[in-house]
Structure 1
Amino acid sequence: MAEIGPNTRLRVSPFYEATIGEGVTAFSPYNNMLMPVSFGDADAEYNRLMNGVSQWDVSVERQVEIIGPDAARLVQLLSVRDLSKIEVGKGKYVPMCDHRGVLINDPVVLKHEDGRFWLSIGDNNILMWARAIAAERGLDVNICEPDVSPMAIQGPKAEDVVASVFGDWVRALKYFWFAPAEINGIPLIIQRSGYSKQGGFEIYLRDGTRGIDLWNIIKEAGEPWGIGPGNPSPIERIESGLLSYGGDTDDQTNPFEVRLGKYVDLDLDDEVVGIQALRQIKAEGVKRQQVGIVFDNPECRPGHAIWYAVQQGDRGVGHMTCGAWSPRAGAMIGFGLVHTDLTVGDEVDVVRGGYVDRARLCELPFF
C-alpha cells in the first residue's frame, strides 16, 4: 500500500497516533496538515454526532497569533466585521476579504487580552497574509503560529463529557466564549464552539507533546456517554447550513453571496482591507446567492466531482458546490451558488457526470 510520508509540507497533529489507534481510515490535506476524515463507519460517526458525543482531531484549524501595540488595529484591518467591542475571553466569527472584496477566510477571532489575539483559521495561508498587511501598514506587531492544536468534542452529550473533566463551570460558557484550563499539567483553552450545530466545545491544546495524553483523558471520561472518534461531518454541516470556505466559495465569491452579509459592517474605516470594494459590490447589486438544493429522486447519491453545473432549461444558472445524502431529509441535498434571479421553490437541473437530475431550490439551513 502506498503511503504519504509526513514532512514539513504535510505535518501530522499531536493527536495523530491517537487517531491511528482509533482506526482512522482516511485523511485529507488541510493547512499543510493531515486531517482525519473517516474512521470507517460513516453511519456510526454521524449518529454519534447527532445523538451522543464525538471526538475530533481538528488540529488543522491553525492559530495565527498577533501580539503587540498595534494588534487590535491589524485584526480590524483584516476583518470586515466591527471588532471594536470584542471583549477579553470572547471569540467572533468574521469574514476576511482581499482588496477585491473576495472572501479569503472566515476565522474565529479570539481576544486573549488587550494586544493579543488569535485567528482560528480555515484552509489558507493567513499567517503570510497577516504579515504582509502588517508590513504594508507599518504596524508594530509580532505574528506567529503558536503551539496550539484544537480538539473538538461535539454532540448533544458533549457538555456532560467536558464538564465531567473540567467541572460544571464550563456549562456557563456562552457560544464562542473561552477560558484557560489545565488537566494533569496540560495547558489548555476551552471554548464553546465547533463546526457543527449539535453543540460542543473546542479544547485548544497548548503543548504539542501532550496530544495523546489529552486524547486519552477525554476518551476515558466520555466512555459513559458512548464517546467515539469522528470528524467534521459533511452531512451534518450541509443539513445545518454551515459554510465551507474553499469548498462553497471560489476566487470571485464575496460575503454577500454566501449568507455572510450580516457579518459585514460597511461603515468601517476605509483602510479595512476589502471594505471599499464591498461597498461597491453592495451598491451595484449582488449577482449570486447561496441556496439549498433538494433532489427529487430519493435514490440519488453524491458523486465525486465538485461544482456541478445547475441549469434551467438550456441556461446555466450557477453551480452546486457540495452534496450529501441526508438521513433527516431522506434525500440528497446540497448548496447551490446561483443567479439572484432564481427564487426558493424554482425547479432546476443538476448536471452530474453526464447525468441530469431534477431538483428544487430551498432556503438554508435545511434544519
Structure 2
Amino acid sequence: MVKRVHLFDWHKEHAKKIEEFAGWEMPIWYSSIKEEHLAVRNGVGIFDVSHMGEFIFRGKDALEFLQYVTTNDISKPPAISGTYTLVLNERGAVKDETLVFNLGNDTYMMVCDSDAFEKLEAWFNAIKRGIEKFGELDLEIENKTYDMAMFSVQGPKARDLAKDLFGIDINDLWWFQAKEVELDGIRMLLSRSGYTGENGFEVYFEDSNPYHPNPEKRGKPEKALHVWERILEEGEKYGIRPAGLGARDTLRLEAGYTLYGNETKELQLLSTDIDEVTPLQANLDFAI
C-alpha cells in the first residue's frame, strides 16, 4: 500500500511530477529540478519531508538503550540538540543513518530515512524484548512517522526567513541544535539542519494526516497546511520555491551527502562475518 504525507493533496495540485519513492507517493518537482536546485543554492527553497521516519524514546533507560543501538555518543549534546549517528546490523553494515535529538526529561526523538523506519522499528523492539528477558527496562518506543509533519527550509536566505517567521537567528545555533518555537500559535521543534549543503532549518510538529494507516487517526492537516503556506507567503520576497525530491537528490549529491540504499545499505550476506558495505566504505567513520 502506497504511503502519503499530510499535504499530499496540495502537492498533487501543484507539482508537475509525482512518483513513488521508498513506498511514498511524493512530489519529484514543481517547476523543474534545475530551477528548484538553483533556488536553494541562490535563495531559498522548502521541501516537504514528512515521509521521514520519527521515533520517540521515553524512560530512564532511553539513553542507555540508544547508546547501545547507535554508533555515536549521543550523551554529549545538551537538550535540545541532535547527534548524527548510525544504526548498524549485526554484521556491521548501516541499517540507516539517523539524527537523535535529546529533548530532555529522559525523552529522545530519532529521525530516520523514509524507507527504513519499519525495519528499524522491528529491530529496536526485538532488542528491547531481548533485554527484557533478563531484567526490567524503563523504556517506551513510539513510532510517530505518520503523525509528524516535517518541512525543510534551505538556502542562503533561510536565515532571513527564520528571523521573519520566528524572530531567531539560526546562525546563533550550532549545527543540529534545536529550539522550541511557535508560529501563529502552532508549537514546533526547529532544528538547524538540512540535507543540501546550504544554511537552513527544519521544523517538526504533530498534525492529523488524512492518509494515516489508522483510520481513527485520520483528519484534516490544518496545522501542516497553515505552516507550509505561511512559509511560502513569508518567503515570497526572497524568491522561495517549493522543491521536490529531484532537487533534494541533486543537492545532496553536489554536497557529498550519502543516501540510504545507495552509499549506505545492508546486504545481509549470511555467508560472511562482516557485511560488504560498512560505515568505513561510506566514509562515515566520523560517526563511530
TM-score under structure 1 normalisation? 0.66
Shift in Å, 1:76 = 0.8
Letter in 2 for 1:63: E
Matched-pair contact (CA < 8 Å) for 1:25–1:40: no
Matched-pair contact (CA < 8 Å) for 1:58–1:151: yes
Letter in 2 for 1:246: G
Q: Please say if 1:145 is aligned against 2:143.
A: yes
CA distance in 2, matches of 1:15, 1:173: 29
Letter in 1 for 2:42: N
CA distance in 2, matches of 1:80, 1:168: 32
CA distance in 1, matches of 2:140, 2:58: 5
Any gaps of 5 or more consecutive residues in structure 2?
Answer: 209-220, 268-275
Alignment of 1:204-223 (within 5 A): 204-208=204-208, 209=221, 210-223=223-236
Encode CA deviations 1:281-339: one digit per residue, 9 max, x unaligned. Answer: xxxxxxxxxxxxxxxxxxxxxxxxxxxxxxxxxxxxxxxxxxxxxxxxxxxxxxxxxxx
CA distance in 1, matches of 2:122, 2:34: 39
Structure 1 counterpart of 2:20: 28
Q: Whose radius of gyration is greater, 1 or 2?
A: 1
Encode CA deviations 1:51-77: one digit per residue, 9 max, x unaligned. Answer: 011110100112011111211111111
| Secondary structure in 1 matching 2:103 | strand
Structure 2 counterpart of 1:245: 260
TM-score under structure 2 normalisation? 0.84
Structure 2 counterpart of 1:86: 77
CA distance in 2, matches of 1:174, 1:18: 33
Matched-pair contact (CA < 8 Å) for 1:27–1:38: no
Shift in Å, 1:20 = 2.6
Structure 2 counterpart of 1:193: 193
Relative contact order (C-alpha < 8 Å, sep 6+): which is higher?
2
CA distance in 1, matches of 2:255, 2:181: 30
Q: Please say if 1:258 is aligned against 2:282.
A: yes
Q: Please say if 1:19 is aligned against 2:11.
A: yes
Matched-pair contact (CA < 8 Å) for 1:10–1:29: no
Matched-pair contact (CA < 8 Å) for 2:193–2:200: yes
Structure 2 counterpart of 1:67: 58
Structure 2 counterpart of 1:154: 154
RMSD: 1.6
CA distance in 2, matches of 1:34, 1:117: 28
CA distance in 2, matches of 1:175, 1:249: 22
Give % identity.
26
Q: In structure 2, which of residues 68, 82, 85 is the aligned counterpart of residue 77 of structure 1?
A: 68
Structure 1 ranges of 4+ moved more than 6 A:
none
Encode CA deviations 1:61-120: one digit per residue, 9 max, x unaligned. Answer: 120111112111111111111223231111011011011111100000111014111110
Structure 2 counterpart of 1:168: 168
Matched-pair contact (CA < 8 Å) for 1:178–1:192: yes
Any gaps of 5 or more consecutive residues in structure 1?
Answer: 1-8, 265-367
Letter in 2 for 1:26: I
Structure 2 counterpart of 1:100: 91
Shift in Å, 1:169 = 4.3
Shift in Å, 1:185 = 2.3
Matched-pair contact (CA < 8 Å) for 1:149–1:205: yes
Matched-pair contact (CA < 8 Å) for 2:15–2:27: no
CA distance in 2, matches of 1:239, 1:16: 27
Q: Please say if 1:226 is aligned against 2:218.
A: no
Structure 2 counterpart of 1:345: none
- Which structure's residues are more often strand, by fraction? 1
CA distance in 2, matches of 1:199, 1:231: 18
Letter in 1 for 2:112: I
Letter in 2 for 1:137: I
CA distance in 2, matches of 1:24, 1:113: 42
Letter in 1 for 2:3: R
